[in-house]
Structure 1
Amino acid sequence: MSIPSRVVLGWREWVVLPALGVPAVRAKVDSGARSSALHVDDQWRFSEGGAPWVGFRLTPAHAGEAIECAAPVVDERTVVDSGGHGTRRVFIRTTLRLAGLEREVDVNLTRRHGMAFPMLLGRTAMARAFTVDPSRSFLHGRAGPLPFAAAFPPTDPHRTHP
């Protein structure tokens, strides 16, 4: 039985979240973290067709302008950070594009102020597709000038938060 080849990632990479209209975000690739996390400036809950949804705003450092997104809530659970502190977080499922591959991943939304990377890519998002070379960085390119205005999703009409 042959082992499928895996794509090698550096310890930091640029990722795209196309379903959210996020053209590029810098991510720390962390095989020690189970789940993936995305920094959001603000988040609010609402209901769509009786199902729980979350709206959120993020500002990619190289974009300069905030992007508003909305997604169904797939889970809400306590996540323990590297310091041992547990916080309740909302999880969404979205498409991750990295190294020419696209896959559906679960991502929790949190405030990562003070962290060097707005996204943490955990091991469940990498499972069976990627391996990490911690001595390398940005093996799959760096973000350049991007057409951000075209990537902004429309503001959610059900939004209840200013």
Structure 2
Amino acid sequence: MTTKITVGWREWLSLPELGIEQIKAKIDTGARTSCIHAINIEEYEVDGEKWVKFTAQPLQEDEQTQITCNAKVKKMKYVTSSSGQKELRYFIETTLHAGEFSWPIEITLTSRASMKFRMLLGRTAMENRIVVDPALSHLL
């Protein structure tokens, strides 16, 4: 990709493979990994491969809107949060839609119930694709 997308510090994104039509994300160049708010995470197997079923609540301050998602587990790894806590998280891969562009990203599942944004888009998902203008919001 030669043209980079300019985004603001917060954007409406989509994760269609998970059934999430819109989720407000904080565009976080300080975070390496992207993550999404997930509750009721259950692991299961399909043909000997590890999968997870989880509930996404994509809208801030709206616990009634819930989407049941299923995804193949790419890996499990410890992630250090911004508060310094280490947490073992599931990593999945899904397609991100940002405006008219889309590409696969790796994302972790964690509870973000106490956070303002239900998703963080980390720098690994942005690499070579996105430029952030921190003075702006909702460019997509």
Question: TM-score normalised to the size of structure 2?
Answer: 0.94
Verify the 8 A CA contact 2:76 2:90 in the aligned structure 1: yes
Letter in 2 for 1:74: K
CA RMSD of aligned residues (A): 1.4
Letter in 2 for 1:122: G
* Inter-partner Cα distance in structure 2 for 1:113 and 1:20: 19
Following superposition, the deviation at residue 83 of structure 1 comes to 1.7
What pairs with 1:1-162 in structure 2 (closer than 5 Å)?
Answer: 4-61=2-59, 64-140=64-140
Following superposition, the deviation at residue 129 of structure 1 comes to 0.6
Structure 1 residue ranges, 4+ long, deviating more than 4 angstroms after superposition: none
In structure 2, the gaps of 5 or more residues are none
* Inter-partner Cα distance in structure 1 for 2:125 and 2:92: 13
Deviations 1:33-62 (A, max 9, x none): 000000012210000010000100012227
When structure 1 is superposed on structure 2, of 79-88 and 120-129 the one drifting more is 79-88
* Inter-partner Cα distance in structure 1 for 2:67 and 2:108: 17
* Inter-partner Cα distance in structure 1 for 2:78 and 2:90: 9
> Which structure has the highest strand share of the two?
2
Count of matched residue pairs: 138
Deviations 1:7-38 (A, max 9, x none): 11100000000111110001000011000000
**Percent of residue pairs bearing the same amino acid type:** 38
Question: TM-score normalised to the size of structure 1?
Answer: 0.81
Following superposition, the deviation at residue 107 of structure 1 comes to 0.3
* Inter-partner Cα distance in structure 1 for 2:2 and 2:53: 37
Following superposition, the deviation at residue 65 of structure 1 comes to 2.7
Verify the 8 A CA contact 1:7 1:99 in the aligned structure 2: no
* Inter-partner Cα distance in structure 2 for 1:21 and 1:44: 18
